[in-house]
Every structure is written in structure tokens, then in C-alpha cells.
Amino acid sequence: MFKQTKNIETAFQHIRTFSLLIIVGSLLLAGFGLYRSYQLVSQMQSKIYVLANGKAFEANSSERTDNVGVEARDHVKTFHQLFFTLDPDDKVIKENLSQALYLADQTAKQEYDNLQENGYYTGIISGNISQTINIDSVIVSEKEYPYPFRCYATQQIIRTTSKASRSLITSGYLRSVSRSDNNPHGFLIERWTIIENKDLKTEAR
């Protein structure tokens, strides 16, 4: 009788152990399945398809921290190209400067106001002068925030009878703001200062 009871108890323990193993295994399998599903969904969400000329191209999204340096340098470059590219056309000047002022704070507006008060833009139009800028380099430090930057560029000023080259060095800081159509990089230039803007050479045309 006792032997039979012992056999039943042993069998029950085996069944209980086996049941626990099945439950634990099922939970582990379900957890692994959920993890893999989440991983696959995340990978799919990171893929972007860009449609250009009727063709779909695959691109990968990334965190902003991966591209801070690239976007910051392009923001500075875009601002300077808009602010310093001028033609003898009042509409072109206003459009360029209007776009540039979305990318910087009041320090850029103050510089614009000073140039306007001094008749700089009027002189561009009346003298049929064109001004372009070549960005030589933009240095942005990502070690501190707001991000300090320095821009090195060369201006070309084309007049009717001459062509002048000027060196341009500016500095400032970049603060993160919301992205928009007017500010796609999501940065704002602060405390913008022109450190140097001097003649390099002038040649006749």
C-alpha cells in the first residue's frame, strides 16, 4: 500500500516538474517571439522610402545625435550663403535676407539693419554689383552647448569695372529649436559676430 502511494507521489512530482518546464519554456518562447517582433518593427520603421522621378529609393532614418555636426555645419553654411549672396535686384536681396533671418537671432537682424542704414543694399542695386560667397570651412564644437562655431569664407564682389576678393571670418553659437519649413535643420544662430572682413585683392575686369 505504502509502495503504491509512494509511486503515485513520485509520478505526481514528475508530472508537476514536467508541467513547470513546459510553462517556463512557453513563457521564454513567447518572450523571445515578442522581442523579435518588436525588433523587426523597429527595423521597418527606420526605413524610409523616397520617391524621386517615379522611382522609390530606400533610406535609413537615424537619431539627431548621429548627425549634429553635419546638420550644424550645413545650417551655418546655408545662413552665410543667403545673407551674403546679393545681386542688383531688390526682390532677390529681400528674399535671401528674409530666409537668412529665420536661421539666426537678433544679432543677424542688427547687422542687416546697420547695413541697410548705411545704404549698403542701395549701393548694390545702383552700382549693379553682384556679391557671392565661397565657404572655405565651418568648425563646430559638439563638446559644449550651445554649440560654438567659426566660419571661414571668401567673398567675391563683382563691379562693372573690377572684381574684389574679401576674407570673411564669423563666429557664433548654435541652439536647437523646432524644425520647420523655414528652418529645416532645427538650429538657431545666436551671438553672431563678424570677426574679420578685409580686402584680399582687386583686379580689373
The closest of 95, 99, 185 to 149, measured between CA atoms, is 185
| Residue carrying the nine cell digits 574679420 | 196
> What pLDDT is stored for residue 53 in this prediction?
57
How far is residue 154 from each of residues 5, 166, 200, measured CA to CA in Å?
Answer: 98, 6, 9
CA–CA dist 178, 30 (Å, integer): 40
Instruction: Please provide the DSSP assignment of 172-200 as one string.
Output: EEEEE----SS-TT-EEEEEEEEEEEEEE
> What pLDDT is stored for residue 2 in this prediction?
47
> What pLDDT is stored for residue 30 in this prediction?
85
Print pLDDT tens along the chain (205 aa).
545 555 666 766 778 887 888 888 888 888 888 888 777 666 655 556 555 555 555 555 555 555 788 899 999 999 999 999 999 999 999 999 999 999 999 999 999 999 999 999 999 999 999 999 999 999 999 899 999 999 999 999 999 899 999 999 999 999 999 999 999 999 999 999 999 999 999 888 7
CA–CA dist 184, 205 (Å, integer): 39
Return the amino acid letter for 20: L
DSSP state of 144: S
SS (H, E, C) 160-173: CCEEEEEEEEEEEE
| Residue carrying the nine cell digits 509502495 | 3
> What pLDDT is stored for residue 6 in this prediction?
57
The closest of 177, 171, 169 to 191, measured between CA atoms, is 171
- Residue 76 dihedral angles phi and psi, to the nearest 5°: -60, -45
pTM for this entry = 0.69
- Residue 177 dihedral angles phi and psi, to the nearest 5°: -135, 175
> What pLDDT is stored for residue 25 in this prediction?
83
